């Protein structure tokens, strides 16, 4: 069956009833590709493309709220560098008009460009179901290869992003456009920091509780180097402690290289990905420090 | 009275004629949309891609399929003015929307300026990618007042052409922009 | 003492030189030929009206699907189709037992079964076909066919296939064949050379990746079997289908739909026989069949991956003295056109360079990979990568400028190529100088915007034998008719695969007869209507079919001149036909229109119908020495220069500038010539940097465009084209051809530039960022 709800409530009720036997389809770029290969991914489609209250982009107190149907094309026009660049690195213009950020999160591809940029931004997702609404930091969203924290009756209704970060994005593929990344990197630095390196404050003797209040100031996320898009927490902590300068960046790069666990596949070998990840991280951080 | 489930409401709304043996997802769906300026009302298989629907049901074979995974752009159509890979969409997703295919660009014998320039510049060789490229260019030139070279590249990067080497395609687009008074 | 053969060659060279100097082409300015007329099929293509194979489908037709092998190498014990046949909506399930002909096909050797009976040799082998009401039902039915296999040890590398105890893929063994070339005494000359460089280069498997997937329809009305599928050589396909299905030739009609690219990928039979078989079994029904992208990639032949062991010797001053080359060619499962590809590799082993002593061995080895066959460049592309790579290394070793080294060794008019064939008019130097001048070679800059970026400049020169060559019958036929309403109908079976053949033949006919282009009505590629023209391959159609069309048009024109002379009561040699009218050059008021000529011609019993055959002979290469006085009808020359940046940290390559010069003899349609050059270069950039079919245990890991990476608009710089026109005495209006040379020149030029940038050679194609980076780490 094909359902085309007009509201979030209607969509959630459908999903609550159909559970695993129903799948949300927004842009369709992940589901329809399977169908073209003769695979039927689900018995019931819940088409979100006509849900009106999933389209908004709002800004509240320095936080950007993107509703679930915000596409890569829309994200490509946002003033958040790493997200906009990541979004514009997805497919061609047609795919960017179809594919959504929320869909990119939900499909949880290790190469997810949107997911990776959002991870670096420390985005928060709003997960809704007929049972209610919960919020989750994105860092807790990806569980394992193509597995997320989404319950069978839930959908991503909102993505919240802090806007006051300096960010950037780099992606390496085998050609000039329409790439699935060999490696992609997003970095974000908290406001007012990062210039002059040593001015990055050190989070002293932080307790578990205060860590939540004072998260690491530099965030590094990578695609295609692990079963899920991943954050490099150790490298981030190292930089938060030691500040950003040419020397610490080089050390952080080595930490990144040891943190990631890419596999050899038909796109590239693991050792090249490890090398490349370091180059891209170093270049992005150096560029941000300079800026 | 027992509250009806949403799915049940849908079940009641849907018509059951034309039921096929393959399973529930092939129930026909009542699709109403605008195609090349005309209102269309048609019963469709909801698991049919927009590409197949246009080519098979509407017999508009100008829109091509070549990779069926969103990588080549041969299947581009405009949906509410935006370029989309019709091979990646299910037909019912264009419910209530305005779809334009390559067949909808020329007005009778009068070609769209982009079509004209593609022919004039030799941007057409085997022609299989041509409709998709022209739709990509159409979207680009409709949504950008004065596209830069970089914007042209971004707008056309989703279309694979195996014959021309793209140089003449770029020239055709730029000449079309010139003619439309769009170029910087 | 002068050998008789040498004397004959000298005589031939003299004749050619004379033909050149007396210039057969002093015809005055042309009106249609040489003009960039718009593509005659352009408007239909740009409006979506053109019908390609898949556009011929209709819901009410029947649909076929093919069952592929489950193992790359296995014996078939039994095929059980009983369950599949019971599925509602299934009309027939066919296996080899349903084929009454030979069930064999293959362009040079008939070594491939249409539907396998005893053995499968690669994962694309076909075992059964289902015809059903729709594709979904057909796909369901395929799953219900039970095939019992006895898997055999499969061979995925040439090394494994050449082991003495390796299982035999074909009854005759795992070696398809060998090809040798011996010129002078290479081992001796090599031992005496001042400088020797050698290396092993491995090219990759590539896919044609034309966009218009294999698709078409067929119908049998009880008398005639009509098949509409895009191929590259209609009449050869008809022969192969007829033999395989046991059908008399005259009961088989092939019609070519519009064709969305080919590049050699439609030379082998694709779905034609499957469709024909289904139609024969279901009289009166129209059967459709189409491949998905992955099925297309899995089933179709590929470009041969070749391992080239190349050794090059020179004197201190850079003069080449010897080349010793071994090509190991992975044939995949079937012969396809492999023997011809191997021959082309050997006859092009030293490209445009004069090497007096040459030793070439080519070995074709069967494996259980995809069969390999024709693809733009046809053996010469892989070869050029090797010899240009070696020239770079030789220049380094000699401490010579690589342009100087090349220029010094280029063949000149009257010199012989590797096969011993004298090339009367060689323009390699002219092409080379043109690109060097354009890039300003002596002032090239290595300054880059950042230290991690290194610039490189690469060079390549192409010398390419046109046509099938090697004594293989190579002919084209054409026919021109004048209709009662004064239209010139032009009949040819040559196929426009996108390259622009349609304009080429029409422009030549219009020019030759003297009519405007819109008075020519082309009727192409229908075996019931059009004469055999050979394949759209080997860069041959402009030369061959162009000539055939010119001959037929010329004969028709002579008839028209006779009619005009008789009717106007004028001398025939004073009658000129221009712009669709015949008139006396001295009394221009005495004139007739084409329509009047047609009417008058009918009255006077003229046929107004002229047929032609163009069939220049070539001579087979000697089986032991590879020598032939005329291995190819003529040679094409070109030269490329590539300027690029290498990111030394990531291995990424960015092409900054690309210049390609080709001597095409005469550009019948200059715009389309440039289109061919730019398209060929782009395909070459794909081959150099990104395209690669990744096979693991015979299975293609990237059977789709997500991972079979093709160049996008972002990967291609402005391709600056220089078109030279040194007329060929044998081509129409002096034209030669341009299809393959641009592809052949590109990968070598790109790789040469990467070498210049990183000072290390890429030995395995393509030069992906990872490979470039890894090479730098060596």
- A249's CB contacts (< 8 A; 6+ apart) are A239, A282, A285, A286, A289
Q: Tell if the CB–CB gap between B49 and A1 is shorter than 8 Å.
A: no
Q: What is the DSSP string of C3-40?
A: -HHHHHHHHHHHHHHHHHHT-TT-----SSTTS-PPPT
For residue B113, the chain C residue with the least C-alpha distance is C46
Q: Tell if the CB–CB gap between C705 and B72 is shorter than 8 Å.
A: yes
Helix (H) or strand (E) holding A117: helix A113-120
> In C, which residues are within 8 Å of B168 by CB distance?
674-675, 678
Structure confidence at residue B6 (pLDDT): 60
Task: Encode pLDDT of A27-75 as tens digits.
Answer: 999 999 999 999 988 999 999 999 999 999 999 988 999 999 999 999 9
> In B, which residues are within 8 Å of A94 by CB distance?
70, 73, 76, 83-85, 88, 136, 158
User: Is C764 near chain A, with CB under 8 Å?
Assistant: no
For residue C59, the chain B residue with the least C-alpha distance is B56
For residue B163, the chain C residue with the least C-alpha distance is C679
Q: Tell if the CB–CB gap between B85 and A94 is shorter than 8 Å.
A: yes
**CA-CA distances (angstroms) from residue A225 to A106, A232, C624, C634, C743?**
18, 11, 54, 53, 36
A291/C517: higher pLDDT: C517
Q: Three-class SS of residue C352?
A: coil
User: Is C690 near chain A, with CB under 8 Å?
Assistant: yes
Task: Encode pLDDT of A17-29 as tens digits.
Answer: 999 999 999 999 9
For residue A27, the chain B residue with the least C-alpha distance is B89
> Given C46, C683, C713, which is nearest B118 (Cβ)?
C46
Q: Residue C404 CB: number of other CB atoms within 10 A? A: 13
**A149: which DSSP letter?**
S
- Which residue out of A25, A34, A92 would a mutagenesis test of the B interface target, given it has the greatest number of B Cβ atoms within 10 Å? A92
**CA-CA distances (angstroms) from residue C287 to B66, C233, C614, C691?**
21, 22, 37, 34
CA distance A23 to A4: 12
Closest CA–CA distance from residue B55 to any residue of chain C (Å): 8
Structure confidence at residue A119 (pLDDT): 97
> Given A37, A174, A266, which is nearest C769 (Cβ)?
A174
Q: Tell if the CB–CB gap between C672 and B122 is shorter than 8 Å.
A: yes
Structure confidence at residue C740 (pLDDT): 98
Q: Three-class SS of residue B142?
A: helix
> In B, which residues are within 8 Å of A27 by CB distance?
88
How far apart are the two ends of chain C, measured CA to CA in Å? 52
Q: Is-contact C365 C158, C-beta < 8 A?
A: yes
CA distance C264 to C302: 9
Least Cα distance to C87 among C36, C43, C131 occurs for: C131
Q: Is-contact C549 C478, C-beta < 8 A?
A: yes
Q: Is-contact C386 C375, C-beta < 8 A?
A: no
> In A, which residues are within 8 Å of C713 by CB distance?
177
β-strands C112-113, C104-105 pairing? antiparallel
CA distance C249 to C227: 13
Q: Which residue has the tokens 């070439």?
A: C360
Structure confidence at residue A291 (pLDDT): 77
Least Cα distance to B53 among B69, B81, B31 occurs for: B31
CA distance C650 to C692: 19
Measured in degrees and rounded to the nearest 5, phi and psi for residue C126 equal -95, 140
Q: Is-contact C473 C618, C-beta < 8 A?
A: no
> In B, which residues are within 8 Å of C88 by CB distance?
21
| Helix and strand element counts for chain B (H, E) | 6, 5
For residue B85, the chain A residue with the least C-alpha distance is A94
- Which residue out of B93, B134, B143 would a mutagenesis test of the A interface target, given it has the greatest number of A Cβ atoms within 10 Å? B93
> In C, which residues are within 8 Å of B64 by CB distance?
52, 54, 211-212, 260
User: Is C650 near chain A, with CB under 8 Å?
Assistant: yes
> In A, which residues are within 8 Å of B93 by CB distance?
25, 28, 47, 49
Q: Would the pLDDT of C17 be above 90?
A: no
For residue B82, the chain A residue with the least C-alpha distance is A97
Q: Is-contact C745 C639, C-beta < 8 A?
A: yes
What are C731's two structure tokens? 């081509």
Q: How far is CA C200 from the centre of its chain?
A: 26
Task: Encode pLDDT of C240-299 as tens digits.
Answer: 999 999 999 999 999 999 999 999 999 999 999 999 999 999 999 999 999 999 999 999
Q: Which residue has the tokens 């040890």?
A: C153
CA distance A115 to C77: 50
pTM listed for this prediction: 0.95
Task: Encode pLDDT of C378-398 as tens digits.
Answer: 999 999 999 999 999 999 999
CA distance A63 to A69: 18
Compute the count of residue pairs across chains B and C with CB atoms less than 8 Å apart: 170
Q: What is the DSSP string of A181-229?
A: -SEEEEEEE-TT-STTSTTSPP-TT--HHHHHHS--SEEEEEESSSSS-
Q: Which subunits count as partners of chain B given 3+ CB pairs below 8 Å?
A: A, C
Q: Would the pLDDT of C447 be above 60?
A: yes
> Given C139, C651, C774, which is nearest A38 (Cβ)?
C139
For residue C135, the chain A residue with the least C-alpha distance is A38
Least Cα distance to C208 among C258, C158, C268, C157 occurs for: C268
> In C, which residues are within 8 Å of A178 by CB distance?
712
Q: Tell if the CB–CB gap between B67 and C704 is shorter than 8 Å.
A: yes
Structure confidence at residue B147 (pLDDT): 93
**B57: which DSSP letter?**
I
Q: How far is CA A205 from the centre of its chain?
A: 30
- B87's CB contacts (< 8 A; 6+ apart) are A32, A36, B49, B50, B51, B65, B67, B68, B69, B70, B75
CA distance A220 to A116: 9
Structure confidence at residue B146 (pLDDT): 87
Q: Tell if the CB–CB gap between A175 and C652 is shorter than 8 Å.
A: no
Task: Encode pLDDT of C663-676 as tens digits.
Answer: 999 999 999 999 99
The interaxial angle of helices B130-143 and B167-179, nearest 10 deg, is 40
Q: Three-class SS of residue A275?
A: helix
Task: Encode pLDDT of C57-110 as tens digits.
Answer: 999 999 999 999 999 999 999 999 999 999 999 999 999 999 999 999 999 999
Structure confidence at residue C2 (pLDDT): 45
For residue C54, the chain B residue with the least C-alpha distance is B61
User: Is B29 near chain A, with CB under 8 Å?
Assistant: yes
CA distance C727 to C238: 35
User: Percentage helix, strand, coil, to 5, in chain C?
Assistant: 30, 25, 40
- Is residue A264 classed exposed, middle or buried when 0-12, 13-18 and 19+ CB atoms within 10 A define those classes? exposed
> In B, which residues are within 8 Å of A93 by CB distance?
83, 136, 139-140, 154-155, 157-158
Q: Would the pLDDT of A211 be above 80?
A: no
- Which residue out of A30, A89, A176 would a mutagenesis test of the C interface target, given it has the greatest number of C Cβ atoms within 10 Å? A176
Task: Encode pLDDT of C545-586 as tens digits.
Answer: 999 999 999 999 999 999 999 999 999 999 999 999 999 999
CA atoms within 13 A on the CB side of C444: 24
> Which chain A residues touch C if contact means CB-CB below 8 Å?
36-38, 172, 174-178, 180, 182, 266-269, 272, 275-276, 279-280
Rounded to 10 degrees, the C-alpha dihedral C544/C545/C547/C552 comes to 140
Q: Tell if the CB–CB gap between C293 and B66 is shorter than 8 Å.
A: yes
**B24: which DSSP letter?**
G
Structure confidence at residue C623 (pLDDT): 87
Q: Tell if the CB–CB gap between C702 and A266 is shorter than 8 Å.
A: yes
Structure confidence at residue A215 (pLDDT): 40
Closest CA–CA distance from residue B13 to any residue of chain C (Å): 27
For residue B77, the chain A residue with the least C-alpha distance is A94
Least Cα distance to C665 among C495, C340, C369, C430 occurs for: C430
For residue B72, the chain A residue with the least C-alpha distance is A92
User: Is C205 near chain A, with CB under 8 Å?
Assistant: no
Strands (E), chain B: 29-35, 38-44, 76-79, 82-85, 98-100
Q: Would the pLDDT of A13 be above 90?
A: yes
Q: Which of residues 45-74 of B touch A (CB under 8 A)?
A: 46-47, 49, 68-71, 73
Q: Which subunits count as partners of chain A given 3+ CB pairs below 8 Å?
A: B, C
CA distance C532 to C523: 13
- A34's CB contacts (< 8 A; 6+ apart) are A40, A41
Whether the link from the prior residue into C489 is cis, omega within 30° of 0, is no
Task: Encode pLDDT of C723-746 as tens digits.
Answer: 999 999 999 999 999 999 999 999
- The pLDDT of A80-93, averaged and rounded, is 97
The interaxial angle of helices A246-259 and A233-242, nearest 10 deg, is 160
CA distance C402 to C441: 11
Structure confidence at residue B144 (pLDDT): 86
What are B156's two structure tokens? 């056309």
Least Cα distance to B116 among B127, B124, B128 occurs for: B124
Strands (E), C34-187: 62-68, 74-80, 90-94, 104-105, 112-113, 119-120, 126-132, 146-151, 175-183
Q: What is the 3-state secondary structure (H, E, C) of C452-499?
A: CEEEEEEEEEEEEEECCCCCCCCCEEEEEEECCCCCEEEEECCCCCCC
Q: Tell if the CB–CB gap between C47 and B66 is shorter than 8 Å.
A: no
Least Cα distance to C205 among C772, C766, C600, C775 occurs for: C766
Segments of chain B scoring below 70 in pLDDT: 1-26, 183-184
For residue A270, the chain C residue with the least C-alpha distance is C770
Q: Is-contact C40 C672, C-beta < 8 A?
A: no
> Given B102, B127, B159, which is nearest C260 (Cβ)?
B127
Q: Would the pLDDT of C704 be above 70?
A: yes
> In C, which residues are within 8 Å of A183 by CB distance?
none
Structure confidence at residue B183 (pLDDT): 54
Q: Tell if the CB–CB gap between A98 and B159 is shorter than 8 Å.
A: no
> Given B71, B87, B93, which is nearest A178 (Cβ)?
B71
Q: Tell if the CB–CB gap between C712 and A36 is shorter than 8 Å.
A: no
**B55: which DSSP letter?**
I
- The pLDDT of C626-631, averaged and rounded, is 96
- Model confidence at C18, in pLDDT bands (50, 70, 90)? very low
What are B15's two structure tokens? 């018509």
Q: Tell if the CB–CB gap between B122 and C48 is shorter than 8 Å.
A: no
Across C546-567, b (16+ Cβ under 10 Å) vs e yields bbbbbbbbebbbebbbbbbbeb
């Amino acid at each position: 069956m094909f359902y085309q709800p007009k509201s979030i409530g209607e969509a959630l009720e459908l999903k609550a009833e159909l559970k695993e036997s129903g799948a949300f389809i927004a842009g369709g770029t992940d589901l329809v590709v399977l169908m073209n290969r003769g695979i039927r991914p689900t018995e019931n489609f819940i088409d979100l493309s006509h849900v009106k209250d999933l389209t908004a982009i709002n800004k509240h107190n320095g936080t950007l709220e993107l509703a679930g149907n915000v596409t890569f094309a829309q994200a490509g026009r946002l003033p958040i560098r790493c997200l906009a660049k990541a979004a514009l690195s997805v497919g061609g213009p047609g795919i960017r008009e179809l594919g959504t950020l929320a869909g990119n999160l939900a499909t949880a591809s290790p190469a997810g460009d949107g997911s990776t940029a959002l991870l670096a931004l420390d985005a928060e997702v709003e997960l809704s179901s007929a049972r209610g609404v919960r919020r989750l930091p994105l860092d807790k969203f990806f569980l394992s290869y193509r597995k997320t924290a989404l319950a069978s009756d839930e959908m991503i209704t909102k993505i919240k992003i802090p806007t006051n970060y300096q960010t950037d994005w780099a992606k390496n593929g085998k050609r000039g456009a329409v790439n699935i990344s060999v490696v992609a990197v997003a970095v974000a630095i908290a406001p007012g920091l990062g210039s002059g390196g040593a001015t990055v404050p050190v989070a002293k003797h932080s307790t578990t509780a205060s860590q939540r209040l004072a998260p690491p100031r530099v965030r590094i996320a990578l695609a295609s180097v692990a079963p899920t898009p991943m954050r490099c927490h150790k490298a981030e902590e190292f930089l938060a402690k030691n500040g950003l300068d040419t020397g610490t960046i080089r050390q952080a790069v080595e930490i990144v290289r040891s943190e990631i666990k890419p596999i050899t596949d038909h796109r590239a070998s693991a050792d090249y990905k490890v090398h490349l990840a370091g180059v891209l991280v170093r270049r992005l951080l150096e560029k941000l420090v300079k800026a | 009275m027992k509250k009806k489930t949403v799915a049940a409401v849908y079940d009641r709304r849907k018509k059951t004629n034309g039921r096929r043996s393959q399973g529930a997802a092939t129930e026909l769906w009542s699709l109403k949309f605008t195609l090349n300026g005309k209102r269309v009302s048609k019963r469709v298989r909801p698991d049919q891609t927009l590409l197949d629907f246009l080519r098979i049901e509407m017999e508009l074979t100008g829109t091509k399929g070549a990779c069926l995974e969103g990588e080549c752009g041969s299947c581009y159509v405009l949906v509410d003015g935006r370029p989309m890979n019709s091979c990646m969409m299910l037909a019912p997703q264009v419910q209530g929307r305005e779809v334009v295919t390559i067949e909808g660009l020329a007005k009778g014998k009068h070609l769209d300026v982009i079509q004209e320039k593609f022919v004039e510049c030799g941007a057409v060789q085997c022609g299989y990618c041509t409709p998709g490229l022209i739709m990509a260019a159409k979207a680009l030139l409709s949504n950008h007042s004065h596209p830069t070279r970089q914007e042209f590249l971004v707008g056309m990067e989703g279309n694979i052409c195996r014959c021309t080497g793209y140089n003449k395609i770029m020239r055709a687009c730029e000449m079309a922009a010139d003619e439309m008074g769009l170029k910087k | 003492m002068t050998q008789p053969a040498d004397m004959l060659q000298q005589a031939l060279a003299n004749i050619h030189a004379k033909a050149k100097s007396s210039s057969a082409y002093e015809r005055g300015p042309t009106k249609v030929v040489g003009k960039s007329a718009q593509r005659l099929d352009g408007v239909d293509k740009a409006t979506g009206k053109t019908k390609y194979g898949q556009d011929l489908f209709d819901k009410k037709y029947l649909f076929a699907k093919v069952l592929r092998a489950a193992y790359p190498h296995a014996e078939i014990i039994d095929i059980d189709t009983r369950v599949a046949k019971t599925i509602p909506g299934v009309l027939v399930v066919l296996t080899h037992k349903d084929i009454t002909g030979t069930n064999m096909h293959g362009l040079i050797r008939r070594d491939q079964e249409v539907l396998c009976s005893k053995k499968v040799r690669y994962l694309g082998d076909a075992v059964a076909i289902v015809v059903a009401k729709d594709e979904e039902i057909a796909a369901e039915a395929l799953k219900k066919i039970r095939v019992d296999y006895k898997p055999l040890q499969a061979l995925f590398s040439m090394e494994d296939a050449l082991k003495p105890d390796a299982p035999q893929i074909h009854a005759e063994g795992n070696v398809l064949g060998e090809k040798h070339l011996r010129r002078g005494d290479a081992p001796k000359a090599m031992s005496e050379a001042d400088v020797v460089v050698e290396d092993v280069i491995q090219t990759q498997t590539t896919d044609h990746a034309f966009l218009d997937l294999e698709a078409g329809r067929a119908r049998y009305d009880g008398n005639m079997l009509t098949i509409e599928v895009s191929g590259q050589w209609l009449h050869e396909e008809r022969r192969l289908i007829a033999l395989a299905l046991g059908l008399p030739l005259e009961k088989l009609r092939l019609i070519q739909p519009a064709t969305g690219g080919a590049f050699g990928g439609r030379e082998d039979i694709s779905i034609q026989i499957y469709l024909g078989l289904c139609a024969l079994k279901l009289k009166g029904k129209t059967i459709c069949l189409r491949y998905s992208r992955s099925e297309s990639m899995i089933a179709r032949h590929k470009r041969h991956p070749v391992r080239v062991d190349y050794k090059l010797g020179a004197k201190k001053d850079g003069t080449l003295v010897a080349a010793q080359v071994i090509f190991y060619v992975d044939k995949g499962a079937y012969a396809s056109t492999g023997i011809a590809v191997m021959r082309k590799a050997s006859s092009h082993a030293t490209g445009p360079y004069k090497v007096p002593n040459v030793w070439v061995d080519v070995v074709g080895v069967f494996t259980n990979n995809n069969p390999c066959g024709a693809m733009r460049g046809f053996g010469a592309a892989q070869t050029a990568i090797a010899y240009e790579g070696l020239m770079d290394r030789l220049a380094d070793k000699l401490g010579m400028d690589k342009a100087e080294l090349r220029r010094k060794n280029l063949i000149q008019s009257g010199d012989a190529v590797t096969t011993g064939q004298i090339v009367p008019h060689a323009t390699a130097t002219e092409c080379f100088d043109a690109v060097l001048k354009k890039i300003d070679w002596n002032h090239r800059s290595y300054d880059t915007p950042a230290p991690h970026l290194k610039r490189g400049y690469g060079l390549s020169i192409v010398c390419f034998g046109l046509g099938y060559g090697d004594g293989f019958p190579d002919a084209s036929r054409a026919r021109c008719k004048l209709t009662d309403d004064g239209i010139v109908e032009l009949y040819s079976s040559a196929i426009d695969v996108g390259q622009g053949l349609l304009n080429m033949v029409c422009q030549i006919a219009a020019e030759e007869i003297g009519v405007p282009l819109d008075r020519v009505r082309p009727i192409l590629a229908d075996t019931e209507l059009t004469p055999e023209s050979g394949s759209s391959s080997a860069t041959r159609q402009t030369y061959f079919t162009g000539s055939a069309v010119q001959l037929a048009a010329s004969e028709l024109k002579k008839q028209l001149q006779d009619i005009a002379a008789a009717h106007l009561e004028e001398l025939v040699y004073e009658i000129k036909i221009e712009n669709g009218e015949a008139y006396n050059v001295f009394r221009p008021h005495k004139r007739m229109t084409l329509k009047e000529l047609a009417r008058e011609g009918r009255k006077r019993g003229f046929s107004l119908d002229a047929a032609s055959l163009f069939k220049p002979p070539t001579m087979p290469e000697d089986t032991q020495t590879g020598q032939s006085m005329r291995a190819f009808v003529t040679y094409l020359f070109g030269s490329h220069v590539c300027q690029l940046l290498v990111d030394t940290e990531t291995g990424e390559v960015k092409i900054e500038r690309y210049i390609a010069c080709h001597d095409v003899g005469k550009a019948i349609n200059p715009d389309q010539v440039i289109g061919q050059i730019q398209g060929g270069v782009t395909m070459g950039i794909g081959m150099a940097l990104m395209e690669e079919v990744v096979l693991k245990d015979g299975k293609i890991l990237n059977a789709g465009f997500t991972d079979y990476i093709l160049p996008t608009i972002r990967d291609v710089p402005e391709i600056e084209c220089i078109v030279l026109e040194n007329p060929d005495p044998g081509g129409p209006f002096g034209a030669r051809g341009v299809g393959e040379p641009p592809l052949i020149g590109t990968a070598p030029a790109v790789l040469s530039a990467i070498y210049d940038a990183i000072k290390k050679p890429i030995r395995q194609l393509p030069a992906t960022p990872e490979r470039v980076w890894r090479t730098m780490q060596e």
